[in-house]
Chain A
Amino acid sequence: AQTVTQSQPEMSVQEAETVTLSCTYDTSESDYYLFWYKQPPSRQMILVIRQEAYKQQNATENRFSVNFQKAAKSFSLKISDSQLGDAAMYFCAYRRGYNTDKLIFGTGTRLQVFP
């Protein structure tokens, strides 16, 4: 069965600094997708970034980028120029690549941003 592990329950960063959140996953599939979701106190789940496993190039969305290491089954999220509004729970998620399938979530990392 596929699993997603986030080993950092909490992280903190100074405003304008860079922080990296870790995620590892376990799968025997070769075709899959990986996601990072943000959940602020409003509890809304917001898609931050998505990576297709068959793409070697790391995905980037403005200040958010990933370091996707397929062989190591690692998918970390880097937030550059951190802002107070980045404070939230961040969830890593995995989905098989064929058909439409469920998202499997990690346990989340709570990010605090200090001014």
Chain B
Amino acid sequence: GQNIDQPTEMTATEGAIVQINCTYQTSGFNGLFWYQQHAGEAPTFLSYNVLDGLEEKGRFSSFLSRSKGYSYLLLKELQMKDSASYLCAVRDMTGGSYIPTFGRGTSLIVHP
């Protein structure tokens, strides 16, 4: 099984930078994902990390350290529309199956 921890809620100001952390424990790591989910909508894919390091995609970046069981999602130049829940998910190999396990999500509130 897995244990994924991320903060429940964060607040930030429009135009600022925010970092959402995710820590995990797994025995058969096979990739880490970040998803964004607006209230009442389906999750949308943001990033995928399987090797250590930083992946940058526009205003969003995701970092992974496998040895530390740690990832973060960095959001720059925050906009009001970035107010959403951010889900960290780890895929691992368990009993022959590749299972993605999701954290409970971090609710980000961006205020003017």
Does A pair with B? no
- Interface residues of chain B, those whose CB is within 8 Å of chain A, are none
